[in-house]
Amino acid sequence: MNVLWIFAHPEPRSLGGSLRDEGVRTLREQGADVRESDLYAMKWNPVVDSDDFGAAAGSDRLIVGSTSKNAFKSGELSADIRAEHEKLAWADTVIVQFPLWWYGMPAILKGWFDRVFVKGFAYGVQRPDGRTARYGEGTLAGKRAMVVLTAGAPEATIGPRGVNGEITEILFPLQHGTLWYAGMSVLPPLTICGADRVSPEEYDAAAEALRERLRTLSTQDPIPFRHQNGGDYDDNLVLRDEFAPGRGDLGVHLGV
């Protein structure tokens, strides 16, 4: 396997940093090739602006979508974005690791997606029949992705009735609205809870859980999200009445 490990934590000596090191070591012991994007170590710029697009930005009002597509097609994207595109093109599996901050990703990781997942590369891709290739189709189709998450909350609080909400719903914008949207098959996430008070024994268990997930990266069943163009949605991209009737929760977008 060719694995790209995207890591977004400011402290390499953190629980997250230790798990990243353990994960990369495990993959290499299995014979995988691993490249890393350690965003804080790279001092990644998370802010989209006209400098990303070179001459394609011009002097007119900046329209990010169309300008980014023009820059992508003409090869005028900034060098740091092009380098991440090369890593993604090389990888068949992507690990996205971060601590859960305020129900989402650290800003540096959100900015990585903002700048790297440009139009023409990760979205705005057309099929031969004119339909938009997204939600299971697109440039990144055929690749796998898995989220590795550390959270300070106790495990019970991010369960189905926990005060913090269910973890798959918290991760829905990333897993469904970003990774699956761009075509990637998304594996169930690995969540390590109580991250700021993990005992040595709990760390050993977390590291073993990560190793086990990495051993089966190529064989795990992905989350069964529905394909946009698979017939489950009508022409307005609304789920057809015969699927999950009477429901309106996020789970209706699972094809099980």
- Scan for tokens 């230790």, then name that residue: 18
Rounded mean pLDDT of 126-139?
92
**What residues are paired with 191 via a beta bridge?**
149
With contact defined as beta carbons under 8 Å apart, do 70 and 6 qualify? no
At 75, which amino acid appears? G
CA nearest neighbour of 75 among 120, 138, 40, 10:
120
What is the radius of gyration, based on Cα positions, of the chain?
19
86-124 pLDDT, tens digit per residue, is 999 999 999 999 999 999 999 999 999 999 999 999 999
CA angle 251, 195, 98 (to 5 degrees): 60
Give Cα separations from 243 to 168, 231, 240 (angstroms).
20, 11, 6
Q: Write down the pTM of the prediction.
A: 0.94
Mean pLDDT of 185-202: 91
Q: Is-contact 14 45, C-beta < 8 A?
A: no
**What residue type is 152 in one-letter code?**
G
